[in-house]
Amino acid sequence: MSAAAVNTRYWVLGEFNDSDALLSSTTTLRHEKAGELDTYTAYPVPGIEEALGLARSKVTYVAFAGGLTGAVGAWALQLYFNYLDTWHGYAVNIANRPPHSPPVYVPVTFELMVLLAGLSIVGSLIVYFWGFPRPHHPVFESEAFVKTASTSGWWVSVTLDAHEKVEAVRARLEALGAKNVSVIEDAEEA
């Protein structure tokens, strides 16, 4: 029986004084291909998506697919039970309206469309985009990060797979003006 392989990843964290310094250093690190970048701020920072080089979110496609599925499903169920299922006797004649009456179908169709769009967004965010369940992230090992990341800090993290690059990225963050620079090592069994 062989021992399990261990994958070690490193996070180099740097705190900046303001959002402008965070934006410029993040852009610089991305152009230098320092590693996988992420930012942590207490407030929204306009332009951070461009600085990180993020593509447009795929959540809109998930919402559209969920909404379309809900709308088509609701319309089809109503059509089936009110019009097509007359052979089994389930069709109900209410107020002598025609079996396929679009204005009557709108409320249920709209509600199921919104419900499935919302549930598909939440489900895809939790499972696919955020990668949960993940109860603990290694960056929480840094005392300075824990104290200021959610209140007043402007943090950037560079994720690395090779130990050889850690000191170079640490020095680069300090050269860009980071005041708190720390390195977190996380070993995972593969």
Q: What is the pLDDT of residue 73?
A: 97
Give this prediction's pTM.
0.69
Q: Domain residues of the chain, as ranges?
A: 8-56+143-189, 59-129
Considering the four listed CATH numbers 1.10.579.10, 3.20.20.150, 3.40.50.300, 3.30.70.120, the one that applies to the domain covering 8-56+143-189 is: 3.30.70.120
Q: What is the pLDDT of residue 140?
A: 87
Question: What is the full DSSP assignment across 16-85?
Answer: ESSHHHHHHHHHHHHHTT-SEEEEEESS--TTHHHHHTPPPPSHHHHHHHHHHHHHHHHHHHHHHHHTGG
Q: What is the pLDDT of residue 123?
A: 93
Can you list the residues of the chain whose pLDDT is less than 70?
Answer: 1-5, 84-93, 134, 189-190
What the block records as the tokens of 118 is 């919302």
Distance between CA atoms of residues 110 and 70, nearest Å: 8
